Amino acid sequence: MKKYILQSIRLTAVLMVLLCVIYPLIVAFAGVFSNGDGGGEKITKNEKVVGYALIGQSFTRPEYFWGRPSAVDYNAAGSGGSNKGASNPDYLKQVSGRIDTLLKYNPSITKADIPADLITASGSGLDPDISEQGAITQIKRIAAYRKLDEKLVAELVVKNTEGPLFGLFGPSKVNVLKLNLALDELKK
């Protein structure tokens, strides 16, 4: 027994050097050569960081495309989903409220136009994307508030839609931050 204890402690120490020092340092070194130098890819505007490519941020003004509802209000210091069950009555009231808000700000659309992702909270609370339909639903509102041609905004949505991986796997998506930045560019 004593033999095993001593061996266990020594083996633990040796493996710690290998697994907790050498291994992560190799990964950290390689990460320096990735986009964002291993600290996460940042998006800049006028040489100022305005966000992370992968982290969604809160858009509430009517002249911007809105992202998904977030259980943590896009506070990226943490993360979290709503964890509401499908049959929870309070939750269903909340969803119904979101539908009403969307209909109020986008008077031209009907309920059938609203995709599920615009009225449900994401898993992380930091989802950077919405579905293509989620962007299309908002085109008329954006065009009206910005006094832009609808076609121009629609083109922008198409340009910012990322298709499935290799054109084959998974859903299409629109990065809300990138789309909104492109929208701001359009104004000039």
Between residue 112 and residue 171, which ones bind another protein under the rule CB under 8 A? 112, 114-117, 119-131, 133-134, 164-165, 168-171
Report which secondary-structure segment, H or E, holds 44: strand 42-45
Residue 149 identity: D
Is residue 104 close enough to count as binding another protein by CB under 8 A?
Answer: no
Considering only 66, 68, 145, 185, the residue that binds another protein (CB under 8 A) is: 68
Per-residue x/- mask for another protein, residues 5 to 44, rule CB under 8 A?
xxxxxxxx-xxx-xxx--xx-xxx-xxx-xxxxxxxxx--
Tell me, by CB under 8 A, how many residues bind another protein: 103
C-beta of 22 vs 152, nearer to another protein? 22
**Across-strand partners of 162?**
173
Tell me how far, at minimum, the Cβ of 138 lies from another protein, in Å: 15
Q: Which lies closer to another protein via its Cβ, residue 52 or residue 139?
A: 52
Distance in angstroms (rounded) separating the CA atoms of residues 110 and 164: 27
Contacts of 166 (CB under 8 A, 6+ apart): none
Nearer to another protein, 40 or 151 (CB): 40
- Least CB distance to another protein at residue 60 (A): 7
CB atoms within 10 A of CB 93: 10
Q: Which of residues 45-64 bind another protein (CB under 8 A)?
A: 45, 48-61, 64
C-alpha to C-alpha distances, 8 to 17, 19, 21, 179, nearest whole angstrom:
15, 16, 19, 55
Integer-rounded Cα Rg, in Å, for the chain is 22
